Amino acid sequence: MTTEFDVYLDCRQDEPPLPTIRTKKMLDVMQDGEVLKLVTRSEGTVKNIRTFVANNTFCSLLQESKEQEGYIFLIKKHCFLLEAHSQVPTYLLYNENIPEIVHW
């Protein structure tokens, strides 16, 4: 299965936890709906990325595979609509480590 991606992150030379840190930083600057392709050779990173995605609502794991080039993860960035008591939609955007509320 081939999935399109918007951003490529090559972490094949990095040891844990650096690939997970770099993934978080990259997702912080990506736009809603964009897909990150992460490539790593470290088996330790596999568990770290699975845990990271499972514990964060701003991204989801679209695909995971082991290929000749290494372990491949396709991760999609999300922006969630929050329920608000007003007529104006409120979206939660993640930027760095601090979520910020934006009204449109």
| Architecture of the domain spanning 7-78 | 2-Layer Sandwich (3.30)
d(CA 3, CA 15): 26
Q: Look-up: residue for tokens 């990325």?
A: 49
pLDDT by 10s per residue, the chain, length 104: 567 999 999 999 999 999 999 999 999 999 999 999 999 999 999 999 999 999 998 999 999 999 999 999 999 998 765 444 445 444 444 444 444 444 44
Q: Which residues of 2-25 are buried (b: 16+ CB within 10 A; e: fewer)?
A: eeebebebebeebebeebbebbbe
Q: Please report, for residues 27, 45, 56, 75, 96, the alpha-carbon distance to residue 18 in angstroms, rounded to integers and kept in the order given.
A: 14, 9, 18, 17, 16
Predicted structure pTM score: 0.75
